[in-house]
Amino acid sequence: MKILAAVVNGINEEYKFEKLSLAEIQPDEVLIKVVATGICHSDEALRVGDAEFPLPAVLGHEGAGIVEEVGSSVKGFKIGDQVVMSYKYCGHCTSCRSGRPAACDSWAKLNMHGTREDGTHTFYKENGTPVSNFFSQSSFATHTLVHENNLVKVDDTVDLRYIGPLGCGFLTGCGTVVNGLQPKFGSSIAIFGTGAVGLGALMTAKIEGCKTIIAIDVHDSRLKLAKELGATHTINSMNEDLGARILEITEGSGVNYSIDTTGVAAVMKASIDVLGIGGVCAPVAVTPNSIEINTLMDLVFANRKLIGVLMGDTVPQIAIPQLIQYQKSGQFPFEKLVKFYKFEQINEASVDSNNGSTIKPILIIDESYRAEEPLI
Protein backbone atom coordinates (compact mmCIF):
# COMPACT_ATOMS: atom_id res chain seq x y z
CA MET A 1 0.00 0.00 0.00
CA LYS A 2 1.34 3.45 -0.95
CA ILE A 3 0.93 6.31 1.51
CA LEU A 4 2.08 9.92 1.88
CA ALA A 5 4.17 10.77 4.93
CA ALA A 6 6.25 13.64 6.32
CA VAL A 7 9.73 12.15 6.71
CA VAL A 8 12.71 13.40 8.71
CA ASN A 9 15.80 12.15 6.90
CA GLY A 10 18.54 13.65 9.07
CA ILE A 11 19.11 15.54 12.29
CA ASN A 12 17.72 19.10 12.17
CA GLU A 13 16.32 18.63 8.66
CA GLU A 14 12.82 19.83 7.80
CA TYR A 15 9.96 17.43 7.22
CA LYS A 16 9.92 16.21 3.63
CA PHE A 17 6.83 14.72 2.01
CA GLU A 18 7.49 11.34 0.43
CA LYS A 19 5.49 8.43 -0.93
CA LEU A 20 6.22 5.36 1.18
CA SER A 21 5.20 1.73 1.03
CA LEU A 22 3.31 0.39 4.02
CA ALA A 23 4.15 -3.15 5.10
CA GLU A 24 1.69 -6.01 5.26
CA ILE A 25 -0.56 -5.90 8.31
CA GLN A 26 0.37 -8.29 11.12
CA PRO A 27 -2.24 -10.27 13.12
CA ASP A 28 -2.12 -7.89 16.14
CA GLU A 29 -2.15 -4.68 14.11
CA VAL A 30 -4.78 -2.26 12.86
CA LEU A 31 -4.61 -0.14 9.71
CA ILE A 32 -5.57 3.45 10.52
CA LYS A 33 -6.53 6.22 8.14
CA VAL A 34 -5.19 9.25 9.99
CA VAL A 35 -7.62 12.16 10.24
CA ALA A 36 -5.55 14.59 12.32
CA THR A 37 -2.54 14.67 14.59
CA GLY A 38 -1.00 16.99 17.10
CA ILE A 39 2.63 18.07 17.02
CA CYS A 40 4.39 17.49 20.33
CA HIS A 41 7.70 18.75 21.71
CA SER A 42 8.91 15.14 21.71
CA ASP A 43 8.65 15.09 17.92
CA GLU A 44 10.84 18.19 17.81
CA ALA A 45 13.34 16.69 20.25
CA LEU A 46 13.86 13.75 17.90
CA ARG A 47 13.97 15.92 14.79
CA VAL A 48 16.74 18.15 16.13
CA GLY A 49 18.65 15.36 17.84
CA ASP A 50 17.95 16.22 21.48
CA ALA A 51 16.85 12.61 21.90
CA GLU A 52 18.43 9.74 20.00
CA PHE A 53 16.29 8.02 17.38
CA PRO A 54 17.11 6.15 14.14
CA LEU A 55 16.55 8.25 11.03
CA PRO A 56 14.98 8.44 8.49
CA ALA A 57 11.72 8.33 10.41
CA VAL A 58 8.05 9.16 10.30
CA LEU A 59 7.36 10.94 13.58
CA GLY A 60 4.03 11.92 15.14
CA HIS A 61 2.44 10.34 18.19
CA GLU A 62 -0.77 12.30 18.85
CA GLY A 63 -2.89 10.84 16.07
CA ALA A 64 -6.60 10.25 15.68
CA GLY A 65 -8.17 8.32 12.84
CA ILE A 66 -10.50 5.66 11.52
CA VAL A 67 -9.97 1.90 11.39
CA GLU A 68 -9.71 0.62 7.80
CA GLU A 69 -8.51 -2.95 8.42
CA VAL A 70 -7.95 -5.19 11.44
CA GLY A 71 -5.44 -8.01 11.88
CA SER A 72 -6.66 -11.57 12.29
CA SER A 73 -6.08 -11.69 16.08
CA VAL A 74 -7.53 -8.26 16.89
CA LYS A 75 -10.78 -8.50 18.84
CA GLY A 76 -11.55 -5.04 20.23
CA PHE A 77 -11.81 -3.04 17.01
CA LYS A 78 -13.70 -3.15 13.74
CA ILE A 79 -13.62 -1.30 10.44
CA GLY A 80 -15.08 2.20 10.81
CA ASP A 81 -14.21 2.65 14.50
CA GLN A 82 -12.96 6.08 15.54
CA VAL A 83 -9.75 5.87 17.56
CA VAL A 84 -7.10 7.92 19.34
CA MET A 85 -3.54 6.59 19.20
CA SER A 86 -1.24 6.64 22.20
CA TYR A 87 1.84 4.70 23.32
CA LYS A 88 2.45 0.95 23.01
CA TYR A 89 2.92 -1.48 25.90
CA CYS A 90 3.42 -5.24 26.03
CA GLY A 91 0.39 -6.09 28.17
CA HIS A 92 1.96 -9.04 29.96
CA CYS A 93 4.83 -7.79 32.18
CA THR A 94 4.32 -7.18 35.90
CA SER A 95 3.82 -3.44 35.45
CA CYS A 96 1.26 -3.86 32.67
CA ARG A 97 -0.67 -6.48 34.62
CA SER A 98 -0.58 -4.20 37.67
CA GLY A 99 -2.35 -1.46 35.73
CA ARG A 100 0.75 0.63 34.98
CA PRO A 101 1.42 0.22 31.24
CA ALA A 102 3.48 3.44 31.16
CA ALA A 103 5.99 1.55 33.33
CA CYS A 104 6.05 -1.42 30.92
CA ASP A 105 9.31 -3.38 31.04
CA SER A 106 9.57 -3.06 27.25
CA TRP A 107 8.37 0.54 26.93
CA ALA A 108 11.56 1.94 25.40
CA LYS A 109 11.94 -0.96 22.97
CA LEU A 110 8.33 -0.79 21.84
CA ASN A 111 8.16 2.99 21.41
CA MET A 112 11.68 4.27 20.77
CA HIS A 113 13.54 1.68 18.67
CA GLY A 114 11.86 2.50 15.36
CA THR A 115 10.73 -1.02 14.49
CA ARG A 116 8.09 -3.53 15.39
CA GLU A 117 8.84 -5.87 18.29
CA ASP A 118 10.13 -8.50 15.83
CA GLY A 119 12.57 -6.01 14.29
CA THR A 120 10.70 -5.44 11.03
CA HIS A 121 9.71 -2.01 9.71
CA THR A 122 6.29 -0.68 8.79
CA PHE A 123 7.47 1.97 6.30
CA TYR A 124 9.79 1.70 3.30
CA LYS A 125 10.99 4.22 0.74
CA GLU A 126 10.45 3.55 -2.95
CA ASN A 127 14.08 2.36 -3.20
CA GLY A 128 13.55 -0.12 -0.36
CA THR A 129 15.20 1.92 2.42
CA PRO A 130 13.44 1.20 5.75
CA VAL A 131 11.95 4.19 7.58
CA SER A 132 11.62 4.15 11.36
CA ASN A 133 8.29 4.17 13.16
CA PHE A 134 7.78 6.31 16.28
CA PHE A 135 5.69 5.23 19.28
CA SER A 136 4.47 2.29 17.17
CA GLN A 137 2.25 4.97 15.65
CA SER A 138 3.92 7.50 13.29
CA SER A 139 0.89 9.70 12.78
CA PHE A 140 2.57 12.15 10.37
CA ALA A 141 1.19 10.02 7.54
CA THR A 142 -2.04 9.48 5.66
CA HIS A 143 -2.18 5.86 6.87
CA THR A 144 -0.30 3.89 9.50
CA LEU A 145 -0.16 0.43 11.07
CA VAL A 146 -0.70 0.43 14.83
CA HIS A 147 -0.65 -2.29 17.46
CA GLU A 148 -4.05 -2.75 19.07
CA ASN A 149 -2.59 -1.79 22.49
CA ASN A 150 -1.93 1.71 21.13
CA LEU A 151 -5.58 2.35 20.40
CA VAL A 152 -8.41 3.95 22.33
CA LYS A 153 -11.87 3.70 20.81
CA VAL A 154 -14.01 6.83 21.04
CA ASP A 155 -17.66 7.50 20.37
CA ASP A 156 -18.74 8.25 16.80
CA THR A 157 -20.00 11.66 17.92
CA VAL A 158 -16.48 12.79 18.90
CA ASP A 159 -14.74 15.08 16.40
CA LEU A 160 -11.40 13.41 15.63
CA ARG A 161 -9.88 16.65 14.43
CA TYR A 162 -9.49 17.86 18.01
CA ILE A 163 -8.61 14.91 20.19
CA GLY A 164 -5.27 13.52 18.95
CA PRO A 165 -3.27 15.52 21.54
CA LEU A 166 -5.11 13.62 24.27
CA GLY A 167 -2.80 10.72 23.36
CA CYS A 168 0.34 12.41 24.72
CA GLY A 169 0.60 16.09 25.66
CA PHE A 170 -2.63 16.60 27.54
CA LEU A 171 -2.52 13.01 28.82
CA THR A 172 0.94 13.62 30.30
CA GLY A 173 -0.09 16.86 31.97
CA CYS A 174 -3.23 15.38 33.46
CA GLY A 175 -1.64 12.13 34.59
CA THR A 176 1.37 13.82 36.16
CA VAL A 177 -1.02 15.55 38.52
CA VAL A 178 -3.48 12.72 39.17
CA ASN A 179 -1.14 9.73 39.24
CA GLY A 180 2.27 11.25 39.89
CA LEU A 181 1.82 14.07 42.41
CA GLN A 182 -1.61 13.07 43.74
CA PRO A 183 -2.19 16.50 45.29
CA LYS A 184 -4.24 16.88 48.43
CA PHE A 185 -7.37 18.97 48.28
CA GLY A 186 -6.58 22.61 49.09
CA SER A 187 -2.87 22.26 48.37
CA SER A 188 -0.57 24.49 46.29
CA ILE A 189 1.16 23.73 43.01
CA ALA A 190 3.59 25.60 40.75
CA ILE A 191 3.63 24.74 37.05
CA PHE A 192 6.69 25.80 35.07
CA GLY A 193 5.88 26.26 31.38
CA THR A 194 2.39 26.83 29.99
CA GLY A 195 2.49 24.74 26.85
CA ALA A 196 0.15 21.82 26.27
CA VAL A 197 1.59 19.66 29.06
CA GLY A 198 1.71 22.51 31.55
CA LEU A 199 -1.78 23.77 30.83
CA GLY A 200 -3.10 20.21 30.85
CA ALA A 201 -1.61 19.87 34.33
CA LEU A 202 -3.05 23.25 35.35
CA MET A 203 -6.60 22.37 34.31
CA THR A 204 -6.30 19.04 36.12
CA ALA A 205 -4.96 20.70 39.27
CA LYS A 206 -8.12 22.80 39.32
CA ILE A 207 -10.29 19.71 38.85
CA GLU A 208 -8.42 17.96 41.69
CA GLY A 209 -9.12 20.84 44.07
CA CYS A 210 -5.76 22.58 44.40
CA LYS A 211 -6.35 25.91 46.13
CA THR A 212 -3.25 27.74 44.89
CA ILE A 213 -2.24 27.17 41.25
CA ILE A 214 0.78 29.18 40.11
CA ALA A 215 1.65 29.32 36.40
CA ILE A 216 5.19 30.39 35.44
CA ASP A 217 6.27 31.34 31.91
CA VAL A 218 8.02 34.07 29.93
CA HIS A 219 5.09 34.72 27.55
CA ASP A 220 2.43 37.11 28.90
CA SER A 221 -0.13 35.86 26.37
CA ARG A 222 0.22 32.31 27.67
CA LEU A 223 0.01 33.48 31.26
CA LYS A 224 -3.20 35.33 30.45
CA LEU A 225 -4.65 32.10 29.06
CA ALA A 226 -3.41 30.20 32.12
CA LYS A 227 -5.38 32.62 34.28
CA GLU A 228 -8.51 31.95 32.21
CA LEU A 229 -8.02 28.19 32.63
CA GLY A 230 -7.72 28.24 36.40
CA ALA A 231 -4.39 29.67 37.55
CA THR A 232 -4.85 31.62 40.75
CA HIS A 233 -1.51 33.39 40.22
CA THR A 234 0.83 33.92 37.28
CA ILE A 235 4.52 34.85 37.21
CA ASN A 236 6.54 36.07 34.27
CA SER A 237 9.96 34.90 35.41
CA MET A 238 11.68 37.34 33.06
CA ASN A 239 10.20 40.27 34.97
CA GLU A 240 9.77 39.06 38.55
CA ASP A 241 11.87 37.45 41.26
CA LEU A 242 10.45 33.94 41.07
CA GLY A 243 11.50 32.70 44.49
CA ALA A 244 10.42 35.84 46.32
CA ARG A 245 7.08 35.94 44.54
CA ILE A 246 6.26 32.31 45.36
CA LEU A 247 7.18 32.84 49.00
CA GLU A 248 4.87 35.84 49.01
CA ILE A 249 2.01 33.87 47.45
CA THR A 250 2.46 30.94 49.84
CA GLU A 251 3.02 33.12 52.91
CA GLY A 252 6.61 31.97 53.25
CA SER A 253 6.02 28.22 53.11
CA GLY A 254 6.77 27.33 49.48
CA VAL A 255 4.54 25.13 47.32
CA ASN A 256 3.41 21.60 48.04
CA TYR A 257 3.95 20.43 44.47
CA SER A 258 5.71 21.54 41.30
CA ILE A 259 5.97 20.40 37.68
CA ASP A 260 8.61 21.41 35.17
CA THR A 261 7.65 21.12 31.52
CA THR A 262 10.44 23.29 30.08
CA GLY A 263 13.51 21.09 30.34
CA VAL A 264 15.65 24.19 30.88
CA ALA A 265 18.32 23.40 33.48
CA ALA A 266 17.90 26.58 35.56
CA VAL A 267 14.13 26.22 35.51
CA MET A 268 14.25 22.57 36.55
CA LYS A 269 16.41 23.54 39.53
CA ALA A 270 14.00 26.36 40.38
CA SER A 271 11.09 23.91 40.39
CA ILE A 272 12.84 22.10 43.25
CA ASP A 273 13.92 25.24 45.10
CA VAL A 274 10.35 26.60 45.37
CA LEU A 275 9.09 23.51 47.21
CA GLY A 276 8.09 23.78 50.82
CA ILE A 277 8.76 21.15 53.47
CA GLY A 278 7.55 17.78 52.22
CA GLY A 279 7.10 19.10 48.69
CA VAL A 280 7.15 16.93 45.58
CA CYS A 281 8.55 17.90 42.17
CA ALA A 282 7.95 16.15 38.83
CA PRO A 283 10.22 17.19 35.93
CA VAL A 284 8.59 15.76 32.79
CA ALA A 285 10.19 17.50 29.79
CA VAL A 286 12.01 15.61 27.04
CA THR A 287 15.37 17.34 27.30
CA PRO A 288 19.11 16.72 26.89
CA ASN A 289 19.79 19.00 29.87
CA SER A 290 20.70 17.91 33.37
CA ILE A 291 20.92 19.62 36.75
CA GLU A 292 23.18 19.39 39.77
CA ILE A 293 21.54 19.02 43.16
CA ASN A 294 22.82 18.56 46.67
CA THR A 295 20.69 15.68 47.89
CA LEU A 296 21.10 16.64 51.55
CA MET A 297 20.30 20.34 51.21
CA ASP A 298 17.87 20.22 48.29
CA LEU A 299 15.93 17.11 49.28
CA VAL A 300 16.72 15.46 52.62
CA PHE A 301 16.63 18.42 55.05
CA ALA A 302 13.25 19.57 53.72
CA ASN A 303 11.90 16.03 53.23
CA ARG A 304 11.30 16.77 49.56
CA LYS A 305 10.78 14.26 46.77
CA LEU A 306 11.83 14.32 43.11
CA ILE A 307 9.83 11.89 40.98
CA GLY A 308 9.80 10.72 37.38
CA VAL A 309 6.44 10.33 35.63
CA LEU A 310 6.31 8.90 32.10
CA MET A 311 3.18 9.58 30.01
CA GLY A 312 1.44 10.67 33.21
CA ASP A 313 1.62 7.05 34.43
CA THR A 314 -1.76 6.68 32.74
CA VAL A 315 -3.78 3.90 31.19
CA PRO A 316 -4.79 5.67 27.95
CA GLN A 317 -7.87 3.51 27.45
CA ILE A 318 -9.22 4.81 30.76
CA ALA A 319 -7.80 8.33 30.90
CA ILE A 320 -8.60 9.55 27.38
CA PRO A 321 -12.37 8.89 27.58
CA GLN A 322 -12.34 10.63 30.96
CA LEU A 323 -10.61 13.68 29.48
CA ILE A 324 -13.18 13.80 26.68
CA GLN A 325 -15.93 13.85 29.29
CA TYR A 326 -14.13 16.61 31.21
CA GLN A 327 -13.91 18.59 27.97
CA LYS A 328 -17.61 18.13 27.27
CA SER A 329 -18.46 19.40 30.76
CA GLY A 330 -16.24 22.47 30.32
CA GLN A 331 -13.68 21.41 32.92
CA PHE A 332 -10.88 20.62 30.46
CA PRO A 333 -11.34 23.06 27.55
CA PHE A 334 -8.27 22.03 25.57
CA GLU A 335 -9.91 23.30 22.38
CA LYS A 336 -8.80 26.79 23.50
CA LEU A 337 -5.16 25.77 23.12
CA VAL A 338 -5.14 24.43 19.57
CA LYS A 339 -4.50 25.90 16.15
CA PHE A 340 -5.18 23.95 12.97
CA TYR A 341 -2.85 23.57 10.00
CA LYS A 342 -3.04 21.71 6.72
CA PHE A 343 -0.82 18.64 6.50
CA GLU A 344 1.45 20.38 3.99
CA GLN A 345 2.04 23.15 6.56
CA ILE A 346 3.85 20.79 8.97
CA ASN A 347 7.12 22.74 8.88
CA GLU A 348 5.31 26.03 9.55
CA ALA A 349 3.39 24.40 12.40
CA SER A 350 6.63 23.05 13.86
CA VAL A 351 8.21 26.53 13.82
CA ASP A 352 5.13 28.08 15.44
CA SER A 353 5.21 25.48 18.18
CA ASN A 354 8.91 26.05 18.85
CA ASN A 355 8.67 29.85 19.05
CA GLY A 356 5.66 29.74 21.35
CA SER A 357 3.16 31.37 19.01
CA THR A 358 1.04 28.20 18.94
CA ILE A 359 0.49 26.10 22.05
CA LYS A 360 -0.78 22.96 20.35
CA PRO A 361 -0.61 22.69 16.55
CA ILE A 362 -2.94 20.13 14.99
CA LEU A 363 -2.43 18.95 11.42
CA ILE A 364 -5.57 18.11 9.46
CA ILE A 365 -4.49 15.18 7.32
CA ASP A 366 -7.87 14.05 5.98
CA GLU A 367 -9.63 17.27 4.95
CA SER A 368 -12.71 15.35 3.80
CA TYR A 369 -13.51 14.28 7.37
CA ARG A 370 -16.56 16.27 8.51
CA ALA A 371 -15.78 18.87 5.89
CA GLU A 372 -19.27 20.29 6.36
CA GLU A 373 -18.54 21.09 10.01
CA PRO A 374 -16.36 24.20 10.50
CA LEU A 375 -13.48 24.09 12.94
CA ILE A 376 -13.60 26.40 15.93
Residue 140 DSSP label: S
Which CATH number is 2-158+333-364 given? 3.90.180.10
What is the chain's length? 376
pLDDT digit string, tens, across residues 211-224: 999 999 999 999 99
C-alpha dihedral sign at 361, 366, 369, 374: positive
Per-residue pLDDT band for 58 (boundaries 50, 70, 90) equals very high
pLDDT digits (tens, 9 = 90+) for 239-270: 999 999 999 999 999 999 999 999 999 999 99
The ranges of the chain annotated as CATH 3.40.50.720 are: 174-310
Say yes or no to pLDDT of 169 above 80.
yes
Residue 376 pLDDT more than 80? no
The whole-angstrom separation of Cα 209 and Cα 53 is: 39
Angle at 137 between CA 132 and CA 143, to 5 degrees: 95
Residues above pLDDT 90, as percent of the chain: 97
Q: Are 313 and 102 in contact (CB under 8 A)?
A: yes
pLDDT grade for 233, boundaries at 50, 70 and 90: very high
Phi-psi region of 182 (alpha: psi -120 to 50; beta: other; left: phi over 0): left
Q: Provide the CATH topology of domain 174-310.
A: Rossmann fold (3.40.50)
List every span in the chain annotated with CATH 3.90.180.10.
Answer: 2-158+333-364
What mean pLDDT do residues 53-71 have?
98
